[in-house]
Amino acid sequence: MSPVLPILSLAPKLQLLLPEMVLFVGAVVVAVRGLSKHRGARESLPLLTILTLAGSIAAVFVSWTPSAASDAGLLLPNLGRFVKPMIAGIAMVLVLLSIGTVDRQTEAVVARGRRAFDPQRVIRGEFYAFFLFSVMGAMLLCNANDLIWLFLAIELVSLPTYIMVAVGGHGNRPQEAAVKYFFLGAMSTAVFLYGFALIYGATGTLELAAIRDALAAQAASGGLSTLSILGLVMVILGLCFKITAVPMHFYAPDVYEGAPTHVAAFLAFIPKVAGFLALILILTCVGWSGHSFLEPDGVRIAYNGLPTPIAAILWMVAVITMTLGNLGGLLQHSVKRTFAYSSIAHSGYMVIGLIAGPAAGIDALLFYLLAYGVMTTASFAALAALERKGEELNHFSDIAGMRVKHPVMAWMLAVSQSSLVGMPPFIGFVAKVYLFIAAFEAGHVGLVIAAVLNSAISALYYLRIAIMPLVAPPSARSDEVTLVPSIWPRVAAIACGTGTIILTLVSGQLLSAVRSSTAPAQPTTTAMDGRASP
């Protein structure tokens, strides 16, 4: 065989990696430029990060051609065409939340001449480099075609976030939050990596397409093996950490409260997207793409649902996660801890999309992720735009009566919370309707009822956060609240707040884009027999 042929065979895969290459180059440039002794060079880092993310979006539309997607050997060859621009687009807004926050005290001391500039004391370059690396890991999941790639991409998402939590702010609380986040993250990594090992032992391969075919053969000959089921369950439980779902959810309130607001906003979206992308790929290996395929003898066999143990696990995760998240949110006195429980509850809703499965379920899940990214970023941005005596807002009394001094941020907070609860005409309402319809059409009426009841429960704390800034009288603490020096968190809050309405107007076009990105690659062997879900 000519040595040129293997290189040519890699061409489609390399072509689809162009957005990640742009992010890698941008991360290196940002890291090096952050060491410059010129303050203007250091202050340009957020702009360079945003331009890098914009370049990665452009690279998606340049590189993602039908021929390259079909030749790359991916289970869902068109997934990145929608997901990568979504991730990069939300990340661009998340950058705005951090402007003027990272290295704020260090830069102030240097500007006043109290201390000479020392490149070892500034971490702005490293912060934005880690930011880009984490986003790159989430994008790489769209190109995963084996378990090793999947594992490395998930860890590339996670490892930078541990450092971002520690260095993104000042004081001891971020370091404490980072330690908790790191050790619990290491435990979750061990769990899903052990699950990968069991899947390899059950199928004899690391390739996702080959795993799908091996599991399909097991299902056709009497059901998945015990080793396969155990491996899949371990993977699901390990990835529950990434999506802040039960039983790996308990770190979220402490980490969200301890992390700087702009980092908490990052944690609320990027790792969650990565976790759900990994779950989509793993469950596609179980055969739940929902399409009918031909056996070699010409007999057509259709897959009708997830294997019963896997469906039962996901069913319990969805119901318990949304219930504990919403009940926990009712008991909080910290705004950031409430946002953490909100993140937990929304993960429960999104797991419903995994259970609903092919076509409508996954389409609704990806659309919900987009809506959730806009809504939750608006909430965190409104919080990041304000401070009290140089400290971040956190207590409910900090936001009471915000309409008096900061009416725009009060309205943006109210709009984002109204959208999160699912009130029309906001995008959160449309996303929940799509998700509930998908579950109902798949026969999961019980899940829909549980989700509707939980949405009603969540209204109690969402509307509390929405109403307090507009209706409650100002408190002694809220009278001391001022705007942060940087205007960009306010810009992000306004952009995402108005986005919750604007996206509703184009929801049909967005859903069409999602549907075109979830068409599966055809397997080479038998599809699975269906299993009834609980």
Which tens digit of pLDDT belongs to each residue from 479-518? 888 999 899 999 999 999 999 999 999 999 998 888 888 7
**pLDDT surpassing 80 at residue 2:** no
State pLDDT tens for residues 295-304. 434 433 344 5
**Residue closest to 437 by CA, chosen among 373, 356, 369:** 356
pLDDT recorded at residue 476: 86
Instruction: Kindly compute the dihedral angle of the four CA atoms of residues 348, 352, 353, 358, in this order, to the nearest 10 degrees.
Output: 150
Residue 525 lies in a domain: no
Has residue 168 got a pLDDT over 80?
Answer: no
CA-nearest of 422, 415, 418, 400 to 479 is: 400
Strand partners, 392: 387
Q: Are 341 and 257 in contact (CB under 8 A)?
A: no
Q: Which has the minimum average pLDDT: 151-160, 423-432, 507-516?
A: 507-516
In this model, does residue 42 exceed pLDDT 90? no
The one-letter amino acid at 129: A
What helix, strand, coil percent values describe the chain, rounded to 5? 70, 5, 25
Structural tokens at position 291:
């399409």
Distance spanning both ends of the chain, measured CA to CA: 52
Instruction: Estimate the crossing angle of helix 124-140 against helix 79-98, to 10 degrees.
Output: 160
Q: Is 16 helix (H, G, I), strand (E, B) or coil?
A: helix
For residue 319, tell me if it sits in a domain.
yes
Local confidence band at 521 (pLDDT 50, 70, 90 cut-offs): low
Q: What percent of the chain has pLDDT over 90?
A: 60
Residue 102: inside a domain, yes or no? yes
Show the tokens assigned to 356: 């609903």
Number of domains in the chain: 1
Residue 10 banded pLDDT, cuts 50, 70, 90: low
The answer to whether residues 379 and 412 touch, using CB atoms and an 8 Å cutoff, is no
Side-by-side strand order, sheet with 481-483: 391-392, 386-388, 481-483
Strand, helix or coil for residue 534: coil
Q: What is the C-alpha separation between 299 and 287, in angstroms, rounded?
A: 17
pLDDT of residue 533: 38
- Of residues 43, 24, 42, the one with CA closest to residue 33: 42
What pLDDT sits at residue 117? 67
* 170 found inside a domain: yes
User: Cβ(212)–Cβ(523) under 8 Å?
Assistant: yes
- The pLDDT assigned to 4 comes to 45
Residues in the chain: 534
| Residue 528 is assigned to a structural domain of this protein | no
Residue predicted with more confidence, 264 or 119: 264
Which amino acid is present at 75?
L
Query: What span, in angstroms and rounded, lies between the C-alpha atoms of 368 and 383?
Result: 23
Helix, strand, or coil here: 387?
strand
Does residue 45 form part of some domain? yes
> Which range of residues forms the domain containing residue 156?
4-517
Tell me, yes or no, whether 313 lies in a domain.
Answer: yes
| pLDDT at residue 288 is higher than 80 | no
Q: Which amino acid is at 525?
A: T
- Please determine, for residue 123, whether its predicted confidence score (pLDDT) is greater than 90: no
Q: Which of 502, 511, 421, 524 is nearest to 207 (CA)?
A: 524
Give the residue-averaged pLDDT of 417-424: 93
What residues does 146 pair with on adjacent strands? 207
Mean pLDDT of 248-272: 92
- C-alpha separations of 11 from 4, 38, 57, 191 in Å: 11, 41, 20, 34
Nearest CA among 339, 306, 136, 142 for reference residue 229: 306
Please, which pLDDT band fits residue 221 given cuts at 50, 70 and 90?
A: confident
Q: Tell me what the mean pLDDT of segment 295-319 comes to.
A: 70
Q: Is residue 263 part of a domain?
A: yes
DSSP string, 347-381: HHHHHHHHHH-TTHHHHHHHHHHHHHHHHHHHHHH
Provide the whole-model pTM: 0.91
pLDDT in tens, 201-213: 999 999 998 999 8
Instruction: Give the pLDDT of residue 243.
Output: 94
pLDDT surpassing 50 at residue 347: yes
